[in-house]
Amino acid sequence: MCLMAARQKLSDGEVSARLSRLSGWTLSGAQIQKTYQFRDFSEAFGFMTRAALAAERRDHHPDWSNSWSRVVVSLSTHDAGGLTELDFEMAEEFDRLIPH
């Protein structure tokens, strides 16, 4: 998908369809959100480091917070005024960063 198409605001139906394919992500206003729980701060910080590098590669940065072993991630495309394909691609990429 070209970068411009990835940054076009999705319709409510498109958002619902994409959200149904994600595990643990919820709709919160004009953003999607997920809380990741890790064993400790070091594991949480490692995830945030990998996620930051992924976000920088795509030039699409999350709103997030960290409290010891918990990381809350919110995604939205601010310049599009809502959710775009890029948000869902980032959510999928962040999920792939979780150690199994």
Domain spans, the chain: 30-100
d(CA 4, CA 28) in angstroms, rounded, equals 24
Sheet of strand 31-37, all strands in order from the earlier edge strand to the far edge = 26-28, 31-37, 70-75, 63-67
pTM of the predicted protein model: 0.91
Please, what is the average pLDDT of the chain? 94
What digits encode the pLDDT tens for the residues 26-40? Answer: 999 999 999 999 999
Please tell me the CATH superfamily of domain 30-100, with its number: Transcriptional coactivator/pterin dehydratase (3.30.1360.20)
Q: Residues 5-24: what's their mean pLDDT? A: 93
Residue 1 has pLDDT above 70, yes or no: no
Residue 42 has pLDDT above 80, yes or no: yes
Q: What is the largest CA-CA distance in the chain?
A: 38
Q: Which pLDDT tens digit goes with each residue over 51-85?
A: 999 999 999 999 999 999 999 999 999 999 999 99
Which SS3 state, helix, strand or coil, does residue 9 take? strand
Residue 3's pLDDT is: 54
